[in-house]
Chains A and B, each alone.
Chain A
Amino acid sequence: MLRRLPLLLLAFMVVLGLVLERVVYGTLLWQTKIPVVLLLALAFRRKS
């Protein structure tokens, strides 16, 4: 899990980005986050 910690940090950054977009700017740029979410999911699906 330690090995993947930076990827977890990025996942948190993506969620935070969505929250800021919605709360502060009243929008959601969700489409442009699909690639990074899919790639993160791919990494976490692999057994460590």
Chain B
Amino acid sequence: MHLFIEVLTLVFFLATVAHAGATRGRGGLALFGSLLFLGFVRENFVVLREVLYGFSPLSLMLGKAPLIASIIWGYSIYLAVVWAEEVTGEPLREDRPSGRFLAAAALFMMALACFYEPFLALIRMARWQEGTRMTLGVPWIALVGYPSLTILYLLLRGWAKRPLLFWTGLAILALAHTAGLQALKDLLGW
């Protein structure tokens, strides 16, 4: 079952990459490149530092972390962007997105957290730290983590125009967001 979910998610991810390429050209592919990098750094940090959650042994890996964990961020944030564009009527801007756009993307990511997390727990693909507070299988901290990473990524994308600054910022964002989320989780007792 795990391999089926891994391959299916990879197919969905590649389909959305193709969609981004077809509808946004090189900009869309660059968007996905940066999101894949963000997910890769973040999830490998989660595994290496043993923070937030752990994974079952899976077949497809990217570094020390499961491939599915790295690509799901790109897939999800791209969906949030598409959804925010639909409901706000604003295209994803190259500079800082509007507050309305960011709020819409954040809301959609919270809905995705509600969808993903109980399912991943059911199929035993990922397991949050012992004692993590949840409602209906949705960790409270995930309702902070999903939208906050999305908002920070979109703000960084609009702000850091120089490639070196942007890619360095992405790595720092991935590490700081994960460490910060663990610290917040500990602080709140979530």
Contact = CB atoms under 8 A, between A and B. Distances in A.
B40 interface: no
Given A29-B122, A32-B138, A3 B82 contact: yes
A27 B86 contact: no
A7 B122 CA distance: 24
B26 interface: no
B23 A13 contact: no
B58 interface: no
Interface residues of B, number: 30
B137 interface: yes
**Contact residues of B: prevailing secondary structure:** helix
A6 B16 contact: yes
Interface in B91-137: 107-108, 110-112, 114-115, 117-119, 122-123, 136-137
Contacts of B115: 14, 17, 32-33, 35-36
Contacts of A14: 115
A36 B114 contact: yes
A8 to B, nearest CB: 10
Contacts of A17: 115, 119
